[in-house]
Structure 1
Amino acid sequence: MIKAVAAGPTGQQLADALREQIRIWDRDRTAQPTITVYLADVRRPAPRRATIDKTCIRMIVSYY
């Protein structure tokens, strides 16, 4: 079982977003999930993948 738990004032939103990505991956187990995390001040264009922006980071979830 994979779980997502987050803390802080917007922790619930982060955990919900991660759970949604886990559900998407669960529907296609042949896809290889990759999570890439950048510091928030390293601005990159938002890709056409799941992007979770937080105060300190930008987390990108993609499947290959």
Structure 2
Amino acid sequence: MTTPRQRTLAVFEARFLLEALVMAPDLIAHPMVRHEALRLLEHYPLNAHMELTAMALPDMWEQTKRE
């Protein structure tokens, strides 16, 4: 079973991966990967959204301050 901490960290780590794909196009074999990463980031939750969600659903998300 996934814990709130694991779920929250997975969201932050996925955002980090998407940002890395967008910021380092020389590491990507196909331009479509960069385009899709950017498209996904446009709709990705911000830290403030994650904090609000954690307050509303503490059994689902861990409240944590991330930079």
TM range (shorter): 0.3 to 0.5
More helix by share: 2
Larger Rg: 2
- After TM superposition, the score normalised by the length of structure 2 is 0.37
- After TM superposition, the score normalised by the length of structure 1 is 0.39
More strand by share: 1
